[in-house]
Amino acid sequence: MRSFWLTLFAIGAAAVLAFGWQDGEPWTASAFVVFFASRVWRSVIKRPLFPAPADDPQRRANRFIAVTAAGYLGAGALAAIAAVAGEGQEWLYVAPFFLIMGALQLALLAAR
């Protein structure tokens, strides 16, 4: 059942990118896809499709935090580019928040 939802997400992400590019807002579409792809990736880390017999919870938690950081930093960078490219001034408010959240996740990861 989860593979169905993952496939549906991939199709939706492709549609968002295609329509975003077509409507002249490729950076906005990319920011959304990067952010939500990280959320999907986190869910797969949290509940693996095929659990490993020798699961290391510490390693999985570190991967979870790293993926969270990558999602925030990637979406924040793309949101900043979207703001500079004129795709919407609201990105000027969103981008710093995402970048700060990503930096906090990296700080958490470094402290572990």
- Regarding pTM above 0.95, the answer is no
Cα distances (angstroms) measured from residue 19 to each of 8, 22, 99: 16, 5, 26
| Number of structural domains found in the chain | 1
Q: Kindly tell me if the per-residue pLDDT of 90 is higher than 70.
A: yes
Q: What is the mean pLDDT of residues 75-100?
A: 92
Q: Which of 38, 34, 33, 31 is nearest to 83 (CA)?
A: 31
pLDDT attached to residue 72 = 97
For 102, the domain range is: 2-111
Q: How many helices (H) and strands (E) does the chain have?
A: 4, 0
- Name the pLDDT band for 1 (thresholds 50, 70, 90): low
